[in-house]
Chain A
C-alpha cells in the first residue's frame, strides 16, 4: 500500500513536468513585446478605477463557513459507511440516523437564521 502512495507522489512530479513542458515551450517561442497599454488591466476598454482588492460581499464568507462545518461533519460519516455492512443489525442504522439528525439540525438553524439567503 505504501508503494501505491509513492506512485501518487511520482505522479505529481511527472504530471507537473508534463504540464510545465508546453508552458516552457511557450515561454521560449513566444514574442515578448510588452508595452504600457498592453499590460493594463483589462476591463473591456475602460480604464480601471481605484484599488482592485476591494471589500467584498460578506455572504461569500458565510457560505465558506457553513461549508467548513458540513464538510468536517460528513468526513466523520466515511468510517461509519465503510463499517456499515459488517454489523448486520439495526444498531449502526440508529447511530447514523442520530448523526444525520444533528447535521440536519445545523442546516435548519443556518436556514432559519437567513444565512442561506443571497441578500
Chain B
C-alpha cells in the first residue's frame, strides 16, 4: 500500500480498528455509522473550504484579467480575505423585509447551500484499490444522481425570489426557472452520450471505461456539457438570474449577512462540482502519472474552473431572449444531432472498421474526434448564419423611421 496515494484509506482502516475490534469494541454497524458520519463531515468541510479558497482565487484572477490588483490588504496577497469576509458576515445584522414569507425566506439559503453540497457525495477523488473508492458513496446511478440533485438549487432560488416580497426578486426567480430549466435539457442529453460510451452510470466505472480521455471522442459533448454547466451554476455570461444592471441583485436582493453568503456558497460549490464532474467524465478523472490520484483530480477540476473564471472575466452578459434562443434553437438541436452522430460513428468504427475502444483506443478516439470537429464546424457555421440573419431582421424593423428622417432632401422631394 502506497502511504501517499492511500493515505485516506490508511486513516480509515486505523479508525475502524480503533473503534471496533482493536480498541473500543463497538458493534460493526455502529462503527460503520460513525465512519459514514466522519466521511460526510469531511466532504462537507471540503465543500466549505473550496468555497473559501475559490472566492479568493476568483477575485484575484478576475482582477488580473481586468488589469487590477485584486485583494491585497488582509494578509500576504490578501489571502486572509475569505476569513475576514466570514467574520464580517457572521456579525452583520440580518434584515428580513416586512411582508416576506418568513419560513420560506429563512429556509431558502439553507436549501441552496445543501443542494449544491449534495453533489459531492458521489464524486470520486481516487480509484478503488480494494477498500472501496475514494468517494463518499460510489452509487451505481452516480451521474444520474448528480443530474437530479443539481436541479434542486433551482427550487431554492424560486423559494428565495417568491418569498422576498420584492418585484426584482420575483423577476430573478422567473428568469431562474426559464434559464436553469432550459439548460438542463442539453446537459442531460450530453450526459446520455457519455453513459452510452461508458456503458455504466457509476462514476468510478466511467473513469475506468476511458481508455482514451472522453474529451477526444466526445469533444462536442464536452463543449455542450461545459456551456450548460456554466449556465446551470448561474455564472457569467449566464447570470441573468442576478443581473446587477437590470434587476439589482435578482433573487437574493433582500438577503443580508450569512444568508446572503449562503447563496454565494451554493453558486461556487455548484460551479466547482460542475468542474469536478467534467474532469471525471471527460478528462479521465484521477488518472495521471507520479502525483497521487486526488491531487490529479484537483488539478484537472481546478484547470476547468480557471476556464470558467476566464469566461467570467471576458464575456458580457446575454439578453434573456438571446439566452433562450441559444439554448432551444442551438444547444438542444445540436445535442440531439450529437447523440445521433456519435452513436452512428461509434457503431461504424467499431463494427465495420474494427477499431474498438479496448483494442485501438487512440485510433478509435481520433476518428470520432475528427467526426466531432466536422459536426461542430457545420453547427457553428449555421449558428453564425442564423445570428447574422437575426441582426439584419432587427435592423430593417428598428431603423425604418430613422432612415426616413435621415434621408437626403432630394429623395424626400420625390
Co-assembled chains A and B: yes
Interface residues of A, Cβ cutoff 8 Å to B: 1, 3-8, 10-16, 18-20, 22-23, 25-27, 29-34, 36, 38-44, 48, 52-54, 56-57, 59-60, 63-64, 66-67, 70-71, 74-75, 77-78, 80-82, 84-86, 88-90, 93, 96-97, 100, 103-104, 107, 110-111, 116, 118
- A40-B97, A63-B324, A118-B321 are contacts. A111–B174 as well, Cβ < 8 Å? no
Q: Mark B106-147, 1 if CB is under 8 A from A, else 0.
A: 000110011001100100000000000000111110001100
Q: Can you give 30 A-B contacts (C-beta < 8 A)?
A: A1-B139, A8-B118, A11-B40, A11-B136, A11-B137, A12-B118, A15-B44, A15-B47, A15-B114, A16-B110, A16-B114, A18-B44, A20-B110, A23-B259, A23-B262, A39-B97, A41-B99, A41-B166, A48-B167, A52-B99, A52-B165, A52-B167, A66-B328, A67-B182, A77-B339, A84-B199, A86-B199, A116-B324, A118-B324, A118-B325
Q: Which of B43, B118, B162, B192 contacts A74 (CB 8 A)?
A: B192
Q: Which of B96, B109, B343 contacts A93 (CB 8 A)?
A: B343
Residues of A with C-beta under 8 A to B109: 23
Q: Mark B65-94, 1 if CB is under 8 A from A, else 0.
A: 000000000000000000000100111111
Chain B interface residue count, Cβ-Cβ cutoff 8 angstroms: 84
Q: A11 to B121, Cβ gap below 8 A?
A: yes
- A30-B257, A31-B93, A39-B95 are contacts. A54–B167 as well, Cβ < 8 Å? yes
Q: What DSSP secondary structure best describes chain A's contact surface?
A: helix
Question: B332: CB under 8 A from chain A?
Answer: yes
For the complex, what is the distance from the CA of A109 to the CA of B39, rounded to whole Å?
A: 49
- A4-B138, A81-B192, A116-B325 are contacts. A22–B258 as well, Cβ < 8 Å? yes
Residue among B33, B95, B248, B325 with the highest chain A CB neighbour number at 10 A: B95
For the complex, what is the distance from the CA of A16 to the CA of B253, rounded to whole Å?
A: 23
Q: Mark B42-68, 1 if CB is under 8 A from A, else 0.
A: 011101100000000000000000000
Contacts A4-B137, A13-B40, A22-B89 aside, 13 further interface pairs with beta carbons under 8 A come to A8-B118, A8-B121, A11-B118, A25-B258, A26-B89, A30-B92, A39-B98, A52-B99, A56-B174, A81-B193, A82-B201, A97-B340, A116-B324
Smallest CB gap from A11: residue in B: B40
For the complex, what is the distance from the CA of A12 to the CA of B116, rounded to whole Å?
A: 11
Q: B253 to A60, Cβ gap below 8 A?
A: no
Complex A-B, nearest 8 residue pairs according to Cβ-Cβ distance, in ascending order:
A118-B321, A26-B258, A4-B137, A14-B40, A7-B137, A81-B196, A81-B195, A85-B199
- Smallest CB separation, A88 vs chain B (Å): 8
- Enumerate B235-265 residues with CB–CB distance to A below 8 Å: 248, 253-254, 257-259, 262, 265
Smallest CB gap from A14: residue in B: B40
